[in-house]
Amino acid sequence: MLTMKDIIREGNPTLREVAAEVEFPLSDAEKKIGNDMLEFLANSQDPEKAEELELRGGVGLAAPQIDVKKRMIAVLVPSMDPENPDVPEFSGVLYNPKIVSHSVQDACLGDGEGCLSVDRDVPGYVVRHARITLSYQDETGETHKVRLKNYPAIVVQHEIDHLNGVMFYDHINSKNPFELKDGVLILD
Ligand SMILES: CC(C)(C)[C@H](NC(=O)Nc1cc(F)cc(F)c1)C(=O)N(CC(=O)NO)CC1CCCC1
Ligand SMILES: [Zn+2]
């Protein structure tokens, strides 16, 4: 079971490398890594387990963050709908994820971003695509194509960045971290 000690932190060169495509059929090890990453997120969002295992509440994790240089990510975006609190907004282990198209409009989180691999606050708007069309393979190798917007779209873009050695603060305007062009959607 993964815990925070398995997550590499900034300074580790792996976070700045480009991860390799995953070949199908997956090895049992690759399937286990994917399941372990999703389990980590679920544990991190369970108050008891998060406290017991000292986990930061995570919504996404990319394999390079556990020092595995493969193009696989796990996402677990909790429901924002109090009517259906137990149905995640977007959840799964995505292999070879790829943004195949995106909106002209950009978006950012009003509170900026953090990262499980970054143990410090880096203030500033992280401008991303507001909506994306995402292609990925599931663990059987079947290709899926989904359109995402709002928070799930931000999470997936943050995780795909990790597969390309990009950190969230690379997107922050160093001269004026809170500068925004017209038309950028601020998500709260
Ligand atoms: C860095 C950290 C603050 C831990 C961030 N967590 C987060 O946003 N918490 C959260 C949000 C919820 F809506 C429900 C919940 F249960 C917990 C996170 O997991 N990530 C993922 C990461 O570091 N991946 O590499 C950072 C986010 C910043 C924008 C998208 C992902
Ligand atoms: Zn991150």
How far apart are the C-alpha atoms of 110 and 180, rounded to whole Å? 11
How far apart are the C-alpha atoms of 115 and 76, rounded to whole Å? 15
Task: Kindly write down the DSSP assignment for every residue of 38-99, as one continuous string.
Answer: HHHHHHHTSHHHHHHHT----SEEEGGGGT--BSEEEEEE----TTSTTS-SEEEEEEEEEE
Query: Is 162 annotated among the ligand-binding residues?
Result: yes
How close is the Cα of 58 to the center of ligand 1, in Å?
5
Render pLDDT for 36-77 as a digit per residue (tens, 0 to 9): 999 999 999 999 999 999 999 999 999 999 999 999 999 999
Please compute, for residue 50, the number of CA atoms within 13 A of its CA located in the half-sphere on the CB side: 11
Render pLDDT for 138-179 as a digit per residue (tens, 0 to 9): 999 999 999 999 999 999 999 999 999 999 999 999 999 999
pTM of the entire structure?
0.98
How close is the Cα of 39 to the center of ligand 1, in Å?
15
CB 122 within 8 A of CB 112: yes
How close is the Cα of 114 to the center of ligand 2, in Å?
7
Q: Which fold has domain 13-186?
A: Peptide Deformylase (3.90.45)
**Domain-by-domain residue ranges, the chain?**
13-186
- Please identify every residue whose CB atom is under 5 Å from ligand 2, which is an ion: 115
ipTM of the complex as predicted = 0.96
Q: Which of 39, 83, 159, 179 is catalytic?
A: 159
**pLDDT tier, 83 (very low <50, low <70, confident <90, very high otherwise):** very high
DSSP 5: G
Report the percent of the chain where pLDDT is more than 90.
99
Q: Residue 162 CA: which ligand 1 atom is closest?
A: 25
Structure confidence at residue 19 (pLDDT): 99
Residue having the nearest C-alpha atom to atom 21 of ligand 1: 60
By residue count, the chain amounts to 188
